[in-house]
A and B are shown apart, each in its own frame.
Chain A
């Protein structure tokens, strides 16, 4: 894994993270680095631990051992070595530094598009209503939904809801954006509009860690691709190398072959 060079320290540093649900090991000593401005994509068969890994990064899930650091700060536990969970208040402050976009959008149904974005800005970032509203309108404009500021989630299409979800996450100005299969719940014709937003964020230098099944998008937008299988990292490398049909990694080759068979 020489590509995670030592010249610049990783913004996200996942080291030897393991987690089990009962007897099932979902993460086996996973290590992974994301540098500032990098877009890293995690691919792999379902059940390989991709989503769990992502949810550990902002501590929506706890992990049993290992360490996850963002900008040098341990995420869920007080310090590496100790297994002492941070206080809820600390955790909330840590989570505000990461943005997350969900497969099922998870917008707050009682708030408008702008309201969804403003909640974190007013309650967590302590901005005034006016400032928060301005920021919400700015980000809604960025995702092409300036005219939907006062619409409720129920009045928006899936693609529009997901774009609000992205705006809600990036408006907090997180250090890293986590994207969890954000197009999987969308009708095929709505996928493009969401991916276009992600691409433009990547061009702006937003650091991202994403899980996706959109291989073409992963190939075009990622700095590196991580292939996970059975809870472990099986291969890491630049897209061209990982997605090559003749890769030496047999599990990866099987996965890609199956994937191509079912998607093309």
Chain B
């Protein structure tokens, strides 16, 4: 073995990784937040809408799910500004892309959750005189949330990992920081080991937190 591990250079540039991780989290949180709004609104609309609206929403979901994220990132960052007169920074462009991307996945999660709410509960809501809007807010959404939390956790963690794609348009998130250190120190094994560990720990921490929330909700079933 001619290769001796040496982490010194990694620690010297660790601020690139740490700052990168924080930016990754920021990108994920903002995109997921917007994605949740898109997903919820479209899912609620879908289950109560007619054929045309359903077809349009389904087309959006299918389009996003069948195109690789990296292509969407290129399209939005390089393609869109050349067609329409728009100017945005790389992070903004990526948040826009990931929001629309996560929205499509979350529509599916929320839609299946809404459809899984037992009919009897909706009947009970009707029977006490709740209006459709009240039934949605006080009966359907709370139950849907309980049903979808496990799937939701998986989607959130997936989306967090997807922020690494932002490196292809030079957004200085965690993977980009790792690449920078690699180019400047050639400690390829060390830097990617450390980076992998950082994704792993963060992802696991998210999972743990979400499981806690799930357990709280499950107790309240």
Given A92-B132, A152-B221, A172-B128; 15 other pairs, CB 8 A cutoff? A58-B127, A88-B132, A92-B134, A94-B129, A95-B126, A95-B128, A98-B127, A106-B118, A108-B124, A109-B221, A110-B143, A110-B220, A119-B128, A152-B220, A169-B127
Chain B residues at the A interface, C-beta cutoff of 8 Å: 118, 120-121, 123-132, 134, 138-139, 142-143, 146, 217, 219-221
Q: Whole-angstrom distance from the CB of A241 to the nearest CB of chain B?
A: 32
Chain A 98-137, CB within 8 Å of chain B: the 1/0 string?
1110101111111000000001100110000000000000
Is A93 part of the contact surface with B, judged by Cβ < 8 Å?
yes
Is A68 part of the contact surface with B, judged by Cβ < 8 Å?
no
Is A257 part of the contact surface with B, judged by Cβ < 8 Å?
no
B124 x A107 contact (CB < 8 A):
yes
The CA of A93 and the CA of B132, in the complex, are separated in Å by: 12
A172 x B120 contact (CB < 8 A):
no
A residues less than 8 Å from B221 (CB atoms): 109-110, 152, 154
A residues less than 8 Å from B127 (CB atoms): 58, 60, 95, 98-100, 102, 169
Size range of the chain A interface in the assembly: 20 to 34
A102 x B123 contact (CB < 8 A):
yes
Q: Which of A88, A107, A110 counts the most B-chain CB atoms under 10 A from its CB? A: A110
B123 x A96 contact (CB < 8 A):
no
The CA of A119 and the CA of B135, in the complex, are separated in Å by: 10
Q: Which of A104, A109, A154 contacts B143 (CB 8 A)?
A: A109
Query: What are 21 A-B interface contacts by the 8 Å CB criterion?
Result: A60-B126, A89-B131, A95-B126, A96-B129, A100-B123, A102-B124, A104-B120, A106-B120, A106-B121, A107-B124, A108-B124, A108-B125, A109-B143, A109-B220, A109-B221, A110-B142, A110-B220, A119-B128, A124-B134, A152-B219, A168-B128
The CA of A145 and the CA of B131, in the complex, are separated in Å by: 28
Q: Whole-angstrom distance from the CB of B76 to the nearest CB of chain A?
A: 38
The CA of A168 and the CA of B139, in the complex, are separated in Å by: 15
Known A102-B123, A106-B121, A108-B121; judge A124-B146 contact (CB<8 A).
no
The CA of A124 and the CA of B124, in the complex, are separated in Å by: 13
Which residue of chain A is the closest to B133 with respect to CB atoms? A88
B220 x A123 contact (CB < 8 A):
no
Q: Whole-angstrom distance from the CB of A103 to the nearest CB of chain B?
A: 9
User: Which residues of A in the span 33-50 have a Cβ within 8 Å of any Cβ on B?
Assistant: none
A93 x B220 contact (CB < 8 A):
no
A88 x B131 contact (CB < 8 A):
yes
The CA of A102 and the CA of B123, in the complex, are separated in Å by: 9
A residues less than 8 Å from B120 (CB atoms): 102, 104-106
A residues less than 8 Å from B118 (CB atoms): 106
Q: Which of B125, B129, B131, B219 contacts A172 (CB 8 A)?
A: B129
The CA of A236 and the CA of B158, in the complex, are separated in Å by: 63
Which residue of chain B is the closest to A125 with respect to CB atoms? B129
Q: Which of B123, B124, B146 contacts A110 (CB 8 A)?
A: B146
Q: Which of B126, B127, B139, B220 counts the most A-chain CB atoms under 10 A from its CB? A: B127
The CA of A154 and the CA of B118, in the complex, are separated in Å by: 15
Which residue of chain A is the closest to B125 with respect to CB atoms? A108
The CA of A35 and the CA of B150, in the complex, are separated in Å by: 51
B residues less than 8 Å from A94 (CB atoms): 129
Q: Whole-angstrom distance from the CB of B115 to the nearest CB of chain A?
A: 17
A residues less than 8 Å from B132 (CB atoms): 88, 92
B126 x A93 contact (CB < 8 A):
no
B residues less than 8 Å from A95 (CB atoms): 126-129
